[in-house]
Amino acid sequence: MKIPRDNRESGVSEVVGEMLMIGLAIILISVFASVVGNFTPSAHDPVVTIMMTHDCQNVTLWHKGGDWVKTEELTVIIGNDSSRQSYTQQDTWFIPVPKKTVFDLGSNITITTYTNFAGDETVSLVTSRANIFSGKVHL
């Protein structure tokens, strides 16, 4: 005895099951990607301990601890309320010691101004994102 079968519905459950599994996988992948994005570390501003020494025409900034910073990112700004001068790695007055690409522990940067300080100047060491150091020149 042969049981009649309705051929219109054969295999529908397998197709529906596959589509549900693909949809579930896509949802799980997108949720996982959004959650993992929150755990990546963000860029932080460098934290550096700086000691400043100076004489009548030179300022030396000594790296005494903390993060290293690329020398090309550093700018030294010296000035008072009436005038300011910026010095970068491209200037001949900006002298990193030792001559390398990073400003790290034990390194120093000397700025030779060729003009005598008045005693009211502020010296700042900055990057594009943060002010790393600021100090006053006292004569």
Same domain, 125 and 82: yes
The domain total for the chain is 2
Is residue 60 domain-shared with residue 20, that is, in the same domain? no
Instruction: Supply the CATH number for residue 91's domain.
Output: 2.60.40.1260
Amino acid 61: pLDDT: 96
pTM of the model: 0.69
Is position 107 within any domain?
yes
The verdict on residue 3 lying in a domain is no
Same domain, 21 and 81: no
Domain that holds residue 20: 10-37
**Mean pLDDT to the nearest integer, 77-102:** 92
For the cut 60, the answer to whether the pLDDT of residue 23 exceeds it is yes
Looking at the structure, do residues 20 and 74 belong to the same domain, yes or no? Answer: no
Residue 2: inside a domain: no
Residues 46-85 have pLDDT tens digits of 899 999 999 888 999 999 999 999 999 999 999 988 889 9
Asked if residue 69 lies in contact with residue 125, where contact means CB atoms within 8 angstroms, the answer is no
> Do 25 and 53 have their domain in common?
no
Would you state the torsion angle of the CA atoms of residues 13, 14, 15, 18, taken in this order, to the nearest 10 degrees? 120
Return left, alpha or beta for 119; rule: phi > 0 is left, psi -120 to 50 is alpha, else beta.
left
Classify residue 75: in a domain, yes or no.
yes
Residue 40 confidence (pLDDT):
76
Q: What is the pLDDT of residue 45?
A: 84
1 within domain boundaries:
no
* Residue 85, phi then psi, degrees to nearest 5: -130, 135
